[in-house]
Amino acid sequence: MSHTIHDKKKLLARVRRIRGQAGALEQALEQGGECGAILQQIAAIRGAVNGLMMEVLEGHMREHLMDEAASQEQRQQDLEQISRVLRSYLK
């Protein structure tokens, strides 16, 4: 996936923020933090993961589904792969 290499710095920054948020959540749970703050942190992590997913998914679709050099069969396979991933992600 060349688009992930192209956006590598931005994607890694997102992953590192998520890691930091997950660490803060772990610490809050270990220290018996307030439920409201913990719920808010969980929501923030979910939003960050959704943002990361959208960024990679959009790049993947643009790179593979819009590739005029790709055959119709290849585009169909890419579309099926995206559909499988989305079904799994949305469970």
Confidence band of 3 (pLDDT split at 50, 70, 90): low
3-90: what fold? Answer: Methane Monooxygenase Hydroxylase; Chain G, domain 1 (1.20.58)
Average pLDDT over residues 20-31: 97
Residue 91: per-residue pLDDT: 86
Average pLDDT over residues 73-89: 91
Integer CA distances (angstroms), 66 to 39, 69, 72, in order: 39, 9, 11
Checking if the pLDDT of 10 tops 80, the result is yes
pLDDT tens-digit readout, 26-79: 999 999 999 999 999 999 999 999 999 999 998 888 887 887 888 888 888 988
The DSSP 8-state label assigned to residue 34 in this structure reads -
